[in-house]
């Protein structure tokens, strides 16, 4: 596929706080994963956090949000109030259990019918705009937006063509079905929301998106929950030794996130400096996901085969308050992903004052200030990662400086600013839909 030159205008993030018409009500689509699910396992991750936090902040700005998701277990009420001004609507589509994300394209017609049925219970014009998340939701949002005569704003979160260009060893490429579906959504959307300049360029280069339709708005972090705290107290709370060297991985355990790079690097650190064995602690907070579900014990088995099974602790996904304690308890958070549209874990960690060592890919180059709040590592060679981690562990002064800078860097990413900027994009999309040219095209 040819590469489309990037035009500079897509790389200008919108500023929050511009005054414009706030919408009454938005239909938010998160079809393949519920905002009520615990991030860190299965298909729940940063997208879930994004949908929840953005919806809450939009409601506080005066825009009601109704989130549509597929019902995945019995006993769920048709409608749940997530927060003031935020409802979650559970759509019955296919069996409640046993369907993977890859099975959902066959249920999109049923999901779309459920979404349209919910709107039909109200007077026309109930929703001012549709905001879809991930390509499956984009397919449903495309239909709903056309049916209701409102704009479609779409957030990709991850892209098949990007993932396939940076595929981890042993991972499966994303199917052509997804690539085609994403291309259709890109062409149908009135606005595309990119997390970073890098993602905006990928939309233009890999999907031929119209640069004028791409807006860059960075996700946020809850700066009240994720905040510095006393490390000794945090370690006591999570059961870690006060003198340990703690390397933390947070996220779904799958090849894309590359937790094996951290485990292999830790083994090399111990081999190169046997004295580290008495104090090194690797903590993995998260659960199997994606192709990682096929071998859920693979990471633990790898640690044992490398002789460091006793140094790696596995912790199931936890709520935000406890997750903040894990960040605060760590010396370093390690994010070795093969691709990331943003890297929310990296910003959450920095908000807690814990520096980050991350792969120099995708949105992580925005989420981490290289050489200031952490270190970006080129490639995924465990030897190189071990060297970077050892050098940082042996430089407490440098770590302390990074810790101070980490919080300062994270302060750039508050959810209120994100919601204000997204609301501006919404207002622009609605205004553009009312131009004479657009109205004539829709008649």
**Residue 252 annotated as part of some ligand binding site:** yes
Is 69 assigned a ligand-binding role in the annotation?
Answer: no
CB 91 within 8 A of CB 69: yes
CA angle 360, 54, 356 (to 5 degrees): 25
Distance CA(255)–CA(257), nearest Å, equals 5
327 marked as part of a ligand binding site = yes
276 assigned to a ligand binding site: no
* 426 carries a ligand binding annotation: no
Cα–Cα nearest to 262, from 306, 218, 295: 306
User: Any known ligand binding at 134?
Assistant: yes
Q: Which residue has the tokens 């390397």?
A: 247
Residue 12 counted as an annotated binding residue: no
Q: Which three-class secondary structure state does DSSP give residue 133?
A: strand
Residue 9, marked binder = no
Q: Which 8-state DSSP code applies to residue 251?
A: S
348 marked as part of a ligand binding site: yes
**Is 257 among the annotated ligand-binding positions?**
yes
Does 45 appear as a known binding residue?
yes
Query: What is the side-by-side strand order in the sheet with 152-155?
Result: 79-83, 86-91, 64-70, 25-29, 129-133, 152-155, 191-194, 214-216
Q: Is 101 annotated as a binding residue?
A: yes
- Please give the structure tokens belonging to residue 366: 């925005």
Has 163 been labeled as part of a binding site? no
Beta carbons within 10 angstroms of residue 243's beta carbon: 8
Where are the alpha helices (H) located in 121-242, listed in sequence order?
Answer: 134-148, 160-165, 176-188, 197-207, 231-238
Annotated binding residue 416:
no
Is 48 known to sit in a ligand binding site? yes
State the binding site for UDP-N-acetyl-alpha-D-glucosamine.
38-39, 46, 252, 257, 318, 340, 348
* Known binding-site residue numbers for 1D-myo-inositol 3-phosphate: 32, 43-48, 101, 134, 158, 178
User: Which residues belong to the annotated binding site?
Assistant: 32, 38-39, 43-48, 101, 134, 158, 178, 252, 257, 318, 327, 330, 340, 348, 354
Which parts are annotated binding residues for Mg(2+)?
Answer: 327, 330, 354
């Amino acid at each position: 596929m040819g590469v489309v030159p990037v035009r500079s205008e897509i790389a200008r993030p919108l500023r929050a706080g511009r005054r414009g018409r706030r919408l009454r009500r938005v239909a938010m689509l998160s079809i393949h994963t519920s905002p009520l699910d615990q991030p860190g396992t299965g298909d729940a991750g940063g997208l879930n956090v994004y949908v929840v936090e953005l919806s809450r902040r939009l409601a506080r700005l005066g825009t009601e949000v109704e989130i549509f998701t597929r019902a995945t277990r019995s006993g769920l009420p048709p409608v749940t109030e997530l927060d003031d001004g935020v409802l979650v609507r559970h759509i019955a589509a296919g069996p409640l259990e046993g369907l993977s994300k890859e099975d959902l394209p066959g249920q999109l017609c049923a999901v779309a019918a459920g979404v349209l049925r919910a709107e039909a219970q109200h007077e026309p014009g109930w929703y001012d705009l549709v905001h879809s998340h991930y390509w499956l939701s984009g397919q449903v949002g495309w239909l709903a937006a056309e049916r209701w005569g409102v704009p479609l704003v779409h957030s990709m979160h991850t892209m098949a063509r990007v993932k396939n260009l940076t595929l981890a060893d042993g991972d499966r490429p994303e199917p052509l079905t997804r690539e085609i579906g994403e291309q259709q959504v890109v062409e149908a959307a009135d606005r595309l929301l990119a997390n970073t300049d890098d993602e905006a360029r990928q939309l233009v280069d890999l999907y031929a998106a119209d640069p004028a339709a791409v807006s860059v708005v960075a996700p946020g972090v809850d700066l009240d929950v994720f905040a510095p705290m006393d490390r000794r107290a945090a370690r006591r709370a999570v059961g870690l030794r006060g003198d340990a060297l703690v390397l933390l991985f947070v996220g779904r355990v799958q090849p894309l996130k590359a937790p094996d790079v951290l485990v292999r690097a830790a083994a090399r650190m111990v081999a190169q400096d046997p004295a580290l064995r008495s104090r090194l602690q690797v903590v993995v907070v998260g659960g199997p996901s994606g192709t990682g579900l096929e071998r859920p014990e693979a990471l633990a088995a790898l640690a044992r085969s490398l002789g460091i099974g006793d140094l790696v602790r596995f912790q199931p996904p936890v709520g935000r308050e406890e997750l903040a304690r894990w960040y605060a308890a760590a010396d370093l958070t390690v994010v070795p992903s093969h691709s990331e549209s943003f890297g929310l874990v990296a910003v959450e960690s920095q908000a807690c004052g814990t520096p980050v060592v991350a792969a120099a890919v995708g949105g992580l180059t925005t989420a981490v200030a290289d050489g200031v709040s952490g270190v970006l590592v080129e490639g995924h060679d465990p030897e190189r990662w071990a060297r970077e981690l050892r050098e940082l562990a042996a430089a407490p002064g440098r770590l302390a400086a990074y810790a101070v800078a980490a919080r300062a860097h994270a302060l750039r990413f508050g959810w209120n600013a994100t919601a204000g900027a997204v609301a501006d994009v919404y207002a622009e999309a609605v205004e553009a839909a009312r131009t004479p040219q657009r109205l004539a095209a829709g008649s």
